[in-house]
Amino acid sequence: EDQVTQSPEALRLQEGESSSLNCSYTVSGLRGLFWYRQDPGKGPEFLFTLYSAGEEKEKERLKATLTKKESFLHITAPKPEDSATYLCAVPSNYGGSQGNLIFGKGTKLSVKP
């Protein structure tokens, strides 16, 4: 069964304290891994798509990396405005659900000034 697991569930950082969020997945034939940021009460905002192991993408203080089993979202010198829930998703390869996004439960990041 296709599955996405994110850890930790919640992460509290001081401003400037770098860290990483993890997304591990089990899906046969990865067709892409998507990272989104979601603020409370708002829709997910697209951040990155990664397609193959070894791929890396960066945007401001965020850097996403991909291996054959997991992806990391590295946050360098975070600021309070980086506080949000970060969601990871992969497309399913399972039967009638093929192509549907399977979301992890998210990591809620809080950055204190």
Partner 1 sequence: DTEVTQTPKHLVMGMTNKKSLKCEQHMGHRAMYWYKQKAKKPPELMFVYSYEKLSINESVPSRFSPECPNSSLLNLHLHALQPEDSALYLCASSQDRSPDTTQYFGPGTRLLVL
Q: What is the largest CA-CA distance in the chain?
A: 47
Nearer to partner 1, 81 or 113 (CB): 81
Q: Is 9 exposed, middle or buried (0-12, 13-18, 19+ CB in 10 A)?
A: exposed
Nearer to partner 1, 20 or 51 (CB): 51
Question: Residues binding partner 1: what is the number (CB under 8 A)?
Answer: 25
Q: Does 71 bind partner 1 (CB under 8 A)?
A: no
Candidates 31, 59, 69, 112; binder of partner 1 (CB under 8 A) is 31
Neighbours of 60 (CB within 10 A): 9
Candidates 66, 104, 107, 109; binder of partner 1 (CB under 8 A) is 104
Cβ(71)–Cβ(65) under 8 Å?
A: yes
Nearer to partner 1, 7 or 76 (CB): 7
For 102, the enclosing helix (H) or strand (E) is strand 101-103
What residues form DSSP beta bridges with 106?
Answer: none
Candidates 15, 69, 99, 110; binder of partner 1 (CB under 8 A) is 99
Nearer to partner 1, 98 or 110 (CB): 98
The Cβ-side half-sphere exposure at 22, using a 13 Å CA radius, reads 8
Q: Which residues bind partner 1 (CB under 8 A)?
A: 31-32, 34, 36, 41-46, 49, 51, 87, 89, 91-93, 98-101, 103-106
